[in-house]
Amino acid sequence: MASAPAAAPVVVTGGAGAIGTVLVGRLVADGRPVRVIDNLSSGRREGLEAWIRQGKVTLTTADLRQAGSFEAAFQGAGSAWHLAANPDIRRGTEDPSLDLEHGTLATFRFLEAARRADVKRLFFSSSSVVYGLPTKFPTPEEYGPLLPESLYGASKLASEALFSAYAHCYGLTCYLFRFANIIGPGMTHGVIFDFFEKLAKDPTRLEVLGDGRQSKSYLRTEDCVAAMQFVGEKAAAPVNVYNVGTGDRLSVAEIAKLVVAACGGRARLEFTGGERGWTGDIPQQLLSIERLAQLGWRPTRTSREAVEMTVREIARARGLG
Ligand SMILES: NC(=O)c1ccc[n+]([C@@H]2O[C@H](COP(=O)([O-])OP(=O)(O)OC[C@H]3O[C@@H](n4cnc5c(N)ncnc54)[C@H](O)[C@@H]3O)[C@@H](O)[C@H]2O)c1
């Protein structure tokens, strides 16, 4: 009997990061050989270690800005996922070249590597912040004009434009996912992580940036990865744009209360005031997930359930639960 053809390898940039590690786990479970490219700036090798030892994952420790340092990983691959980027919007405001280099330039290098190696199916982790300050809620994929309010958002939008142009110029299929807030183990930034860090330093008070009424969607990492894989199986236009969120939202003040409770409940909340938490913050975010639902996918948890689960996990990992 002829043996089944070997599954084509999958490239994952940023595969050592919080979302990347979960994606790599799913691909490995599907029997796909995975080639991770990551500079380990915010990602960690440990999350991949077991699969590397089993020969299921290879890790190229390289920076996507550096042409010539990582392209070999694309040879013979069947698809490639581009998740590597600076993940922290505030850092991009402090250093204006950060998102240009680790976002836009890195995306260009990724696309060039894919084009040269003839890898035709490409996936990209974009963000809800491409919508800027939307006036329509829930915000659908057709919303425009797209005018981001952060350099991170500008870089995500520029990257989407590059993906679209490459798809049309070189006959590729690309999947552009506009994420809400994605939360789960291994996070190194974001509101929940920040609150735990602040309370570890001073358990009596918790500074909350803004008036606490900022309200956004929170999706678990597992759901995010499942949604992307689902779309990859069902949609096949040259350029496929999908919001990835929960369809509901939770306020920052509610999250602060949940984290304070998990840390012993002693801290008083101190709001810095103002609608926005920080420059570039988008205080109200609710993505329409109708396009995903039409395709047949729905999240398994609400925003509140996702936040509660993540708070419990972090508290346990810090010996608080
Ligand atoms: N977590 C969210 O809420 C969210 C929301 C919208 C979009 N995204 C996007 O999803 C992707 C993954 O985010 P995450 O939350 O897992 O963050 P993360 O920081 O855990 O993962 C990013 C990974 O990219 C790597 N990396 C960064 N710059 C690189 C470079 N120049 N070359 C090679 N590797 C590099 C990091 O080491 C890290 O492993 C990012 O593109 C992020 O912008 C995340």
pLDDT, tens digit (0-9, with 9 covering 90-100), for 131-149: 999 999 999 999 999 999 9
Atom of ligand 1 at shortest distance to CA of 63? 32
Q: Tell me, what's the pLDDT at 187?
A: 87
Q: How far is the CA of 18 from the centre of ligand 1 (A)?
A: 8
Q: Tell me, what's the pLDDT at 136?
A: 97
Question: What count of Cα atoms within 13 Å lies in the side-chain half-sphere of residue 74?
Answer: 23
Q: How far is the CA of 87 from the centre of ligand 1 (A)?
A: 5
The mean pLDDT of the chain is: 96
Q: How far is the CA of 59 from the centre of ligand 1 (A)?
A: 16
Q: Which residues line ligand 1 (CB under 6 A)?
A: 13-14, 16-20, 38-43, 63-65, 83-85, 87, 102, 106, 125, 127, 179, 181-182, 188
Q: Tell me, what's the pLDDT at 3?
A: 58
At 77, phi and psi to the nearest 5?
-75, 150
Q: How far is the CA of 316 from the centre of ligand 1 (A)?
A: 24
Q: How far is the CA of 306 from the centre of ligand 1 (A)?
A: 20
Q: Tell me, what's the pLDDT at 310?
A: 97
Chain-centroid distance of CA 307 in Å reads: 16
> Of 204, 186, 179, 188, which Cα lies nearest the Cα of 263?
204
At 297, phi and psi to the nearest 5?
-115, 135
- Which stretches of the chain score pLDDT less than 50? 1
Q: Tell me, what's the pLDDT at 61?
A: 98
Atom of ligand 1 at shortest distance to CA of 187? 20
Q: Tell me, what's the pLDDT at 314?
A: 94
